[in-house]
Structure 1
Amino acid sequence: MGSLFSKPSPQPPPASAELNKPWRKVTWREKNEILPYLEGFRSSAGVLRILLYGPTGAGKSCFVNSAQKVLLGRNVISAHEQTMRVGQSFTVKIKTHKMKKRGGGRFPFVFDDIMGLQPDNLGGIQTEDIINILKGHISDGYIFNPMHPITADHPKYKAKPEAEDKVHCLVCILPADSVSRMNDEVFVKMKTIRTKAVHLDIPHVIVLTKVDQACEVVNQDLKKIYLSRKISEKVEECSHKLGIPLNNIYPVQNYHTEISPDEATDNLLLMALNDIVNFANDHVEDRDDE
């Protein structure tokens, strides 16, 4: 019979915040080694269209600005951002962002920034509107109605979209620091959109933002992102919830307070941009073959 004063069973030590080896092997390179590929990229279509979507406050507009900053090598304001989460989407209309090149000209790809997803009782963009964007039916500048999706008689509705109006890659922007607390209703909406993208053969990736706010190890040293146990767990969680393969999920740190370029930040953003642009181009080539 056990004693009333028996010692409790020893608890296992807490898992280290840093892994013994990287959960993803990458080569950190100078920005000027990576950027020339995108600068010399030629699309199989006229312009590749990349749609950014996700919950309110995930950092979609910030990602657009960060991408343009790394491509230009200077501070920019391309998309208007909200400085803090206020529960409502700061973006209220579809805005197409044409990416500028250093020395002039444009890249052969654009980003469509849209209103954020929210539970039905809080408003946000309608799922049907995002599906219509995938098909190329909604023109730039359309102001979203949180209560009703666009109708075929609206002046911004394109009944017969051109190939360049359609989306060539779907990018879900998710916040690493709060993805575990996101409303299930929002995930249901995102899975509905993903299912439609799959039916349309549109590639789908996740860009995981705010990694510095999700993990102190990463906050102290961004180059330890692939040694971070917390970020590895967040990537696996996103893969499980949306059914997107792990190698199609890209953790990044957007530019927030910095006004000068940062090598590690640029590396992560360019890794994601390179693959997103290539996936979009692959989609166009596969469609043309068919």
Structure 2
Amino acid sequence: MANLFRNIWSIFSRTRSLPPNPPNPPPPPLLDEPWLKLNWGDRENDLQFINNYKPKGEGHHQFRILLHGPVGAGKSSFINSVISALEAKISHRAFANTGQSSFTNEYKMYSIKKGNQGEMYPFVLNDMMGLKNLGRKYRRVYEKDMKMAMKGHIQDGYTFNPESALSKNNPLHYNKNPTINDKVHILVSVIDADSVNRLDKSVVEIIQDIRDEATELGIPHVAILTKIDEVHPEINKDVKNFCRSQELQKKVKDLSNLVGIPQNCIFPLKNYHSEMMLNDDMDALILKILRRIIEIGDEKLSS
């Protein structure tokens, strides 16, 4: 028993003498010159472009934006942010996820009211079930559902089943004859900036495979890098500071190398999530990104 107490005391003494963990190093200072130049005064021009936009082509009246990405990355928050910026009030239409499980289980389409006359914007945003570390079987199911969604075969309201992809024999949710308005016109991967260097290999491979499928279908692919305010405290103080953050610049480069999306098609963004009032600079960034998404997709429509 005496030996036992001596051993316990020895361990306790060594633990007490250990030096404290060193504090986390401070983030590198912001660059003197921005690595990305944005005209923050273009908000009204971007809003006018969005308000005046009409899809090209006969019978084409709806431009479809499909969002996908890891669980909790901010797909639903992006939808709420777009609606907030366009309707000039904080929106909660899409239920945003604050945990590790996917809140979105349905294939959900969001249309946005334009002004007070009941007119709708000619673009819609479609939300997908969030990506997580999937086994081989579930991965194949997710990819099949994604391909059907991009081709316009999945109807609004379909509940995703990780065990099996949507059946062609499902009369309620399988669209046998999709029109140009049902098909996806641009694919947007939504990824948490802080998670870029911690993405599971299987998630990266799924994003790459879906990118390949989109390319075969002629669908452009871009990415939104969310939660940029958590990368550097100065971005949290002022969202315009993201253009001078070395860490964020590196994350854009790393994501580009991981999944093959060009750096000028990766858009850093701060979503509305805790704010109770609109912010002019956040609105300006949201509208600029929405405009670029429309422009890139529309360019493919007219080619």
Report if TM-score (shorter chain) is over 0.5. yes
- For residues 57-96 of structure 1, the aligned pairs below 5 Å read 57-82=72-97, 84-85=98-99, 87-96=100-109
**2:27–2:232: 8 Å Cα contact kept in structure 1?**
no
**1:239–1:245: 8 Å Cα contact kept in structure 2?**
yes
TM-score (norm 2): 0.85
Q: Which residue of 1 aligns with 2:133?
A: 119
**2:64–2:126: 8 Å Cα contact kept in structure 1?**
yes
Q: Which residue of 1 aligns with 2:30?
A: 18
**SS of residue in 2 equivalent to 1:96:** strand
Structure-2 separation of matches of 1:57 and 1:14:
26
* Residue of structure 2 aligned with 1:135, choices 146, 151, 155: 151
**1:17–1:217: 8 Å Cα contact kept in structure 2?**
no
Structure-2 separation of matches of 1:100 and 1:127:
32
**SS of residue in 2 equivalent to 1:178:** helix
RMSD: 1.9
**1:30–1:263: 8 Å Cα contact kept in structure 2?**
no
* Aligned residue type for 2:29: A
* Aligned residue type for 2:182: D
Alignment partner of 1:55 is 2:73: no
- The alpha carbon displacement at 1:153 in A equals 0.8
Using a 3 Å threshold, how does the CA distance of structure 1 residues 140 and 15 change in structure 2: closer, same or farther? closer
TM-score (norm 1): 0.89
Q: Which residue of 2 aligns with 1:266?
A: 283
- The alpha carbon displacement at 1:183 in A equals 0.9
* Aligned residue type for 1:26: L
Q: Which residue of 2 aligns with 1:5?
A: none
**SS of residue in 2 equivalent to 1:223:** helix
Give aligned pairs, total.
Answer: 272
- For residues 194-273 of structure 1, the aligned pairs below 5 Å read 194-273=211-290
Structure-2 separation of matches of 1:272 and 1:34:
9
**SS of residue in 1 equivalent to 2:302:** helix
Using a 3 Å threshold, how does the CA distance of structure 1 residues 237 and 159 change in structure 2: closer, same or farther? same
Superposed CA deviations along residues 163-221 of structure 1, whole A, max 9, x for unmatched, are 11110000000001222212111110010000011111111110110000122221122
Structure-2 separation of matches of 1:174 and 1:14:
24
Identical positions, percent: 36
Q: Which residue of 2 aligns with 1:100?
A: 113
* Aligned residue type for 1:59: G
**2:81–2:272: 8 Å Cα contact kept in structure 1?**
yes
**2:229–2:236: 8 Å Cα contact kept in structure 1?**
yes
**1:187–1:242: 8 Å Cα contact kept in structure 2?**
yes
Segments of 5+ residues of structure 2 without an aligned counterpart are 1-24
**SS of residue in 1 equivalent to 2:194:** coil
- The alpha carbon displacement at 1:121 in A equals 4.3
